[in-house]
Amino acid sequence: MPAGSTRGRMTLAQQICQQIPPHLVGKLTRKHGIDARSFSSWSHVTAHICGQVTRAIGLNDICDSLEINSSSLRAIRGATPPKRNTFSHANRTRSSRLPEELYWSMVAHLSTLNPSFGKGKIRNGYLRRFKSRIHAVDSTTIQLVANCLGWAKHRRRKAAAKCHLSLNLQTMLPSYAVVDTGKSADNATAWEVCSHLKDGEIVVFDKAYVDFSHLGSLDKRGVCWVTRAKSNMLYRVIQENGVDPKSRVNSDQIVELADYMTKKKWQGQMRLVKATVEIDGKDTQLEFLTNNFDWSPWTIAELYRARWEIEVFFKEVKQTVQLVDFIGYNKNAVEWQIWMALLTHLLMRFFAHLSRWRYSFTRMFSLARASLWHRYNILDLLTSYGTAGGLIRMRACPQHAYLPGFGVLDDFPMGQPKRRKARQSKRYEESMQSRK
């Protein structure tokens, strides 16, 4: 047996799914009036999670896999494998509000279950002095098949769904999300995505979300925002603030809008900071807009740089869960798959947090995919796998524990001095000689 065995009594699939409280799915089923007599909502949710972890490319992949592992599946609170038509009908007819509310309920539940999961600092060590919440707002486009999904067409031969997301940069957890078609403009959806922001909080977004009516609304609510200025923006300089000539900040100005129609939407003043930043190894001048007049110019540039974390989040999601091949064609089925993909990503991130996984999230997801129906303790597996932990030693075969002089030093704790290990090793060999 290996030292520090990772064997457990439950499969990885069971440990992942049972992070969801037992009453939650049934409560949401009753709330949305879903008829789940032939195929329970819990079995529906479980099937989606297993399909996301294995990156299944179709209904047959999910249904056949669950049927083969039906005995292990039933151990997950009595979940049953679906038939292809039953699973397709459930995705098409059951309200996608169920997985949406399930996702947000799990965000709150996991943050309560482990408070450190819902509290943190911005990564990379910058902007740690900010005590107020910093949100990054952006969208990601999910390409769909145009000839099958007419509801999502936004060009002649293209169809897409779009996920607008507000990401808390302290916890790296989403705080609001909207799933819509590719036709939805970012600046039109900004009102809904930013509706949860409170007085004193900070939001960062790119210039696709610039709508001066919306920016004025945020300013009245006491929300500080940072964005990029559009190249065609007409403005008048009111005041020039001094800048350090040795810094990479080129100018710091107080401006007001000069265009008549735009000025109707925003009549106040803004701050325009021009700074030279490095993009792909080349120095480029960028123009930043904000409604805060107290921060230093470089703090404004650093806040906008923090927005890149949401791009990393989108990349991480798309590289792990299944958002390329869809198992349904109507809008409701697509929304089911997107929300369940986000839920699966959330559950796996929770295990990564508990095990202090220090390597790529993609590698962890690959490990879970390969071991989904094996009976391993998931935390022990993540700690002992490869070079991830370094605290648990694995032996090639059980006989290594009994051969005299072989691997003796590995039997002692990692923190003991080498001399003490050598003395104990010498006494061990002497005792074996005396027995002979």
How high is the pLDDT of residue 182?
76
Smallest CA-to-CA distance from 259 within 288, 284, 235, 225 is with 235
How high is the pLDDT of residue 148?
56
**Radius of gyration from C-alpha coordinates of the chain:** 27
Both 373 and 416 in one domain: the answer is: no
Mean pLDDT by 10 residues, the chain (436 residues): 57 94 94 91 96 92 95 94 94 94 94 82 63 90 64 64 88 88 83 91 92 91 93 90 85 89 86 88 90 90 90 90 83 91 94 88 91 91 66 44 46 48 65 62
Both 348 and 281 in one domain: the answer is: no
252 in a structural domain: yes
The helix, strand and coil proportions of the chain, stated in percent and rounded to the nearest 5, come to 45, 20, 40
Query: What is the DSSP pairing of strand 202-205 with strand 224-228?
Result: parallel
State which of 345, 362, 384 marks the end of a domain.
384
pTM: 0.80
Q: How many CA atoms lie less than 13 Å away from 379 in the CB half-sphere?
A: 7
Both 280 and 369 in one domain: the answer is: no
95 in a structural domain: yes
159 in a structural domain: no
Q: How many Cβ atoms sit within 10 Å of the Cβ of residue 158?
A: 14
Both 266 and 215 in one domain: the answer is: yes
112 in a structural domain: no
Q: How many Cβ atoms sit within 10 Å of the Cβ of residue 15?
A: 21
Distance of CA 370 to the CA centre of its chain: 21
How high is the pLDDT of residue 106?
95
How high is the pLDDT of residue 398?
47
Give how many domains the chain has, as a whole number: 3
Contact 8, 376 (CB under 8 A): yes
How high is the pLDDT of residue 268?
86
Contact 55, 79 (CB under 8 A): no
**Residue 371 phi, psi dihedral angles, 5° rounding:** -115, 20
258 in a structural domain: yes
Contact 50, 16 (CB under 8 A): no
How high is the pLDDT of residue 420?
58
Question: What whole-number distance in Å separates Cα of residue 151 and Cα of residue 40?
Answer: 28
Tokens of 46: 């479980």
Q: Could you tell me the strand order of the sheet in which 270-279 lies?
A: 173-181, 159-168, 134-144, 202-205, 224-228, 282-290, 270-279, 249-257, 235-241
Both 266 and 342 in one domain: the answer is: no
176 in a structural domain: no
User: Alpha-carbon torsion 103, 107, 113, 114, what sign?
Assistant: positive
Contact 48, 25 (CB under 8 A): no
In the three-class reduction of DSSP (H, G, I as helix; E, B as strand; rest coil), residue 50 is classed as: helix
164 in a structural domain: no
Both 278 and 343 in one domain: the answer is: no
Question: What whole-number distance in Å separates Cα of residue 169 and Cα of residue 121?
Answer: 8
Question: What whole-number distance in Å separates Cα of residue 296 and Cα of residue 307?
Answer: 18
For 69-87, the pLDDT digits (tens) are 999 999 999 999 999 999 9
113 in a structural domain: no
Both 349 and 260 in one domain: the answer is: no
How high is the pLDDT of residue 205?
93
User: Alpha-carbon torsion 430, 432, 434, 436, what sign?
Assistant: negative
How high is the pLDDT of residue 416?
47
Domain that holds residue 243: 207-304
Tokens of 286: 């960028």
